[in-house]
Amino acid sequence: MSDHNDVISVKGITKVYSDNSVPVHALQGIDLTIRYGEFTAIVGPSGSGKTTFLNIISGLDSCSEGEVWLAGKLLSSMSGKELSDFRRDSIGFIFQAYNLIPVLTVEENVEYIMLLQGVPKVERRRRVSDILEMIDLAGYEKRLPPQLSGGQQQRVAVARAMVSKPAIVLADEPTANLDSVTSGALLDMMYELNRKTGMSFVFSTHDENVMGRAKRLITLKDGRIAGEKQTTVTS
Amino acid sequence: MMIYVKLAWRNLLRNKRRSFIAGTAIGIGLAALICVDALLLGMERNMIDSATASFMGQGRIQRKGFQDTQQADLTINRLDQVVADLEQESILKHFTPRVLTFAMASSPSNLSSIELVGIDPASEKPVSEIDEVIIEGSYFSGENERDILIGDRLAEILKTSLGDRLVVTVSEAGTGDLSQDLFRVSGIFRFDISEMDRGMAFIRLVKAQEMLSIGRDVHEIALVFSDTESGSDATLPFWQKYSRFSNEAVGWPLIMPQLKTVFELSRFSTYIIGLILFGVVALGIINTLFMSLHERMFEFGVLRAVGTRPFSIVQLVTYEAGSLAVVSIVMGCILGFAVNYILAHTGIDYTGIEYSGVTFRKLLFPELRIRQFIEYPLWVFFFTILVGLYPACYAARMSPAAAMRRSL
């Protein structure tokens, strides 16, 4: 069981890929808890298991061994449909390559999850309008993602991740494709949202900028937690 | 859900060239089906017309057993009542009495067995096309009761020509005594149906009745209906009504069962062609959808990651298949209509070609039916959806992490 203050609690998770019959240990016995409202960065070199860790704690992938509790729910006990619904309601995703749906407009991308949740149209439009205002993209509602810059697309991705008010936002290298100014602005925005809404953020990153803003830094190396520290953030 | 319909259409329009090519391929398959069906219907119509309009009629009344035995004394019972009733039939356009018997025709040079048919020239004219296929001489133009019309092939066999005399021998009804008469060849016809051109001769009805000693009786009444479909409608009460007094009324499908078999075979071949076309189309659809899926795998990963249920992914891909089907159906219907429209004006010239004992005597025109533009498109639509389920399930079963890993 997880503590009710823990948004994430993982116990002894391992992940073994056996592509081409050669087992690769991506994660090896990780124990970790992340509390509600934390602004946490998972850092480490390429191949250290950051993306695998995020995929497993979000239920996008399953672990070979161990338990993952997210927002008080044991992920392994859920069916595919329950997992989909759980991700829809409890997790916001931000990906390195923005991963917006290119044929949907900014407005449609942001409101998509609310559509799945069955939020009424008026409420959807209000929340989309509010969040686009907040991320400084008001007036871009009808644009398609390819008509936006990388930074703007990532802001739309942040809006999509947050508009349904999930318990936690998981971001896989969100600033990797952005220049330093844009990534700084994006981090400021997420930091503010974390501060104002109390939403938990977990990042995987290489970016010193991100590391510098995280309240907690967890270092992964060869699929194991190699270190952890609390930081003082200066925004 | 409307969002999936919207997504499906936008995804389809995303790669317009590919969607156009895939849609055209499916559309051509549909157009081919419509065209094959229309041509087969046209061919059926042409064959029925050739078989019925040339001489047989769309139906006939005979004495039971006459068809099998050709016995001269098996004439239609209660002829006057039958004729009186037929005159009152609103569904009937024309009818004509005939006398039929086997005979021997001999000229100074040769002899040949023939089917001798006694006809009433006036009432026969709207029923058969004998008058239209005369290539030499005329169609019972005078009052000479010894006029005889023979086919061009028979004329060759008998080495006879217009104006020459022939002796025709028949067996009288009842006694079986031989009866001979001398005729003058007043016309030579060519139906382009070898059996008729080689083995048939027409004389006046009264003369035939006299030769057979059957009084005013006849062996057959040939029928032409106002609606050409009536001849093949076995449920028509007409057939029952005239199958009394030991007589038998039948439509052309029973007179020429081989023709019906040919049509059934044609329909079966349509199904086979349809199956082959659908098989090719299916591979096209699967290929198109899979290409589209693999290009957008990360999108499916994202959709799944943000909480889209697997069933909704199936819905999305199925809607895409459905959208592709709609585009294809529009293209196929337009193409099918256009091709048939052109062929309906130009026709296809198969005249003189014999198929299953029937010679095409007119241009072949495709026959369009509303059914072809409803039934076949529905087949294509549901088939496309069905085929689309395979890539749809494939996309739905992909783990979100694997899907995103593939494209990133």
Q: Where in chain A are the domains? A: 6-230
Residue B10 phi, psi (nearest 5): -65, -40
The whole-number pLDDT of residue B407 equals: 46
Three-class SS of residue B258?
Answer: helix
Q: Could you tell me if B189 and B128 lie in one domain?
A: yes
Please report residues of A whose CB lies closer than 8 A to that of B14.
102-103
Please report residues of B whose CB lies closer than 8 A to that of A108.
3, 6
Q: What is the extent of the structural domain holding B92?
A: 65-245
Asked if A67 has any chain B CB less than 8 Å from its own CB, the reply is no
pLDDT in tens, A30-69: 999 998 889 999 998 888 889 899 999 988 888 899 999 9
Cβ(B342)–Cβ(B14) under 8 Å? Answer: no
Q: Could you tell me if B72 and B95 lie in one domain?
A: yes
Q: How far apart are CA B284 and CA B77, in angstroms?
A: 64
Q: How far apart are CA A202 and CA B266, in angstroms?
A: 69
Number of Cβ within 10 Å of residue B205's Cβ equals 21
Cβ(A16)–Cβ(A23) under 8 Å? Answer: yes
Q: Could you tell me if B136 and B279 lie in one domain?
A: no
Residues with Cβ within 8 Å of B140's Cβ and at least 6 positions away in sequence, in order, are B121, B147, B149, B186, B187, B204
Of all residues in chain B, the one with the smallest CA distance to A89 is B307
Pairing of strands B111-119, B178-189: unpaired
What is the residue whose two structure tokens read 């449609």?
Answer: A108
> Could you tell me the CA-to-CA distances from A34 to A12, A169, B232, B267 in Å, in that order?
15, 12, 82, 70
Please report residues of A whose CB lies closer than 8 A to that of B319.
none
Amino acid, res. B220: E
pLDDT in tens, B11-37: 888 888 888 888 888 899 899 989 988
CATH superfamily entry for domain A6-230 = P-loop containing nucleotide triphosphate hydrolases (3.40.50.300)
Q: How far apart are CA A181 and CA A149, in angstroms?
A: 13
Question: Into how many domains does chain B fold?
Answer: 2
Q: What is the largest CA-CA distance in chain A?
A: 53
> Could you tell me the CA-to-CA distances from B346 to B48, B355, B366 in Å, in that order?
20, 21, 10
Helix, strand, coil tally for chain B in percent (to 5): 55, 20, 25
Q: How far apart are CA B226 and CA B213, in angstroms?
A: 34
Of all residues in chain B, the one with the smallest CA distance to A163 is B306
Mean pLDDT over each residue of chain A, to the nearest integer = 86
Q: How far apart are CA A68 and CA B307, in angstroms?
A: 18
CA torsion B119-B124-B127-B129 (nearest 10°) is: 90
The whole-number pLDDT of residue A187 equals: 82
Q: How far apart are the first and last CA of chain A?
A: 35
The whole-number pLDDT of residue B388 equals: 87
Of B192, B216, B245, the last residue of a domain is B245
Residue A3 pLDDT greater than 80, yes or no: no
Residue B1 pLDDT greater than 50, yes or no: yes
CB contacts < 8 A (A, B): 73
Q: How far apart are CA B8 and CA B303, in angstroms?
A: 13
The whole-number pLDDT of residue A1 equals: 55
Residue B226 phi, psi (nearest 5): -65, -40
What is the residue whose two structure tokens read 């096309």?
Answer: B129
Determine, for residues B307 and A87 on separate chains, whether the beta-carbon distance falls below 8 Å: yes
How many Å lie between the alpha carbon of B388 and the closest alpha carbon of chain A? Answer: 21
Per the rule left: phi > 0, alpha: psi between -120 and 50, beta: everything else, B121 is alpha
pLDDT in tens, B372-407: 999 999 988 998 888 889 889 988 888 888 887 764
Determine, for residues B309 and A84 on separate chains, whether the beta-carbon distance falls below 8 Å: yes
Of B245, B269, B294, the last residue of a domain is B245
Q: Could you tell me if B70 and B193 lie in one domain?
A: yes
Residue A233 pLDDT greater than 60, yes or no: no
Residue B402 in any domain: the answer is yes
Please report residues of B whose CB lies closer than 8 A to that of A88.
306-308
pLDDT band at B408 (very low <50, low <70, confident <90, very high): very low
Asked if B314 has any chain A CB less than 8 Å from its own CB, the reply is no
Q: Could you tell me if B72 and B212 lie in one domain?
A: yes
Could you tell me how far CA A206 lies from the centroid of its own chain? 15
SS3 annotation, chain A: CCCCCEEEEEEEEEEEECHHHCCEEEEEEEEEEEECCCEEEEECCCCCCHHHHHHHHCCCCCCCEEEEEECCEEHHHCCHHHHHHHHHHHEEEECCCCCCCCCCCHHHHHHHHHHHHCCCHHHHHHHHHHHHHHCCCCCCCCCCHHHCCHHHHHHHHHHHHHCCCCCEEEEECCCCCCCHHHHHHHHHHHHHHHHHHCCEEEEEECCHHHHHHCCEEEEEECCEEEEEEECCCCC
Residue B195 in any domain: the answer is yes
Please report residues of B whose CB lies closer than 8 A to that of A17.
none
The whole-number pLDDT of residue B285 equals: 79
Mean per-residue pLDDT, B260-266: 81
pLDDT in tens, A9-40: 999 999 998 766 778 888 998 999 998 889 99
pLDDT band at B93 (very low <50, low <70, confident <90, very high): very high
Cβ(B347)–Cβ(B363) under 8 Å? Answer: yes
Residue B103 in any domain: the answer is yes
pLDDT in tens, B203-256: 999 999 999 999 999 999 999 998 878 888 889 999 999 998 899 999 988 888
Token pair recorded at residue B87? 């005159």
The whole-number pLDDT of residue B351 equals: 79
Asked if B370 has any chain A CB less than 8 Å from its own CB, the reply is no
Q: What is the ipTM of this complex?
A: 0.86
Residue A235 pLDDT greater than 50, yes or no: no
Asked if B241 has any chain A CB less than 8 Å from its own CB, the reply is no
The overall pTM is greater than 0.90: no
Three-class SS of residue B377?
Answer: helix
Amino acid, res. B137: G
What is the residue whose two structure tokens read 């239609």?
Answer: B76
Could you tell me how far CA A68 lies from the centroid of its own chain? 16
Of all residues in chain B, the one with the smallest CA distance to A160 is B306
Mutate which: B404, B406, B407, B408, vs A, most A CBs within 10 A: B404
Mutate which: B2, B296, B302, vs A, most A CBs within 10 A: B302
Of all residues in chain A, the one with the smallest CA distance to B8 is A103
Token pair recorded at residue B31? 């157009």
Residue A2 pLDDT greater than 70, yes or no: no
Asked if A55 has any chain B CB less than 8 Å from its own CB, the reply is yes
Of B220, B245, B270, the last residue of a domain is B245
Asked if A95 has any chain B CB less than 8 Å from its own CB, the reply is yes
Asked if A127 has any chain B CB less than 8 Å from its own CB, the reply is no
The whole-number pLDDT of residue B275 equals: 85
Q: Could you tell me if B305 and B333 lie in one domain?
A: yes
Please report residues of A whose CB lies closer than 8 A to that of B1.
115
State the angle between helix axes of B297-305 and B400-407 in degrees (0 to 180), rounded to the nearest 10: 140
Mean per-residue pLDDT, A117-129: 92
Mean pLDDT over each residue of chain B, to the nearest integer = 89
To 5 degrees, how large is the angle CA B172–CA B173–CA B174? 115
| Bridge partners, B221 (sequence order) | B61, B97
Is the Cα dihedral B18, B22, B28, B30 positive or negative? Answer: negative
pLDDT band at B357 (very low <50, low <70, confident <90, very high): low
Which residue in A55, A80, A113 is closest to B306 by CB distance?
Answer: A113
Q: Could you tell me if B97 and B189 lie in one domain?
A: yes
Which positions 3-42 of B are in contact with A (Cβ < 8 Å)? 3, 6-7, 10-11, 14
Determine, for residues B307 and A61 on separate chains, whether the beta-carbon distance falls below 8 Å: no
Is pLDDT larger for residue B267 or for residue B93?
A: B93
> Could you tell me the CA-to-CA distances from A233 to A61, A184, A210, A216, B18 in Å, in that order?
32, 14, 11, 10, 52
Asked if B315 has any chain A CB less than 8 Å from its own CB, the reply is no
How many Å lie between the alpha carbon of B21 and the closest alpha carbon of chain A? Answer: 21
Of residues A191, A137, A181, the one with CA closest to residue A159: A137
Which residue in A80, A87, A102 is closest to B305 by CB distance?
Answer: A87
Token pair recorded at residue A7? 């948004």
Which residue in A55, A61, A88 is closest to B306 by CB distance?
Answer: A88
Token pair recorded at residue A137? 């993209």
Determine, for residues A84 and B303 on separate chains, whether the beta-carbon distance falls below 8 Å: no
The whole-number pLDDT of residue B141 equals: 87
Cβ(A178)–Cβ(A154) under 8 Å? Answer: yes
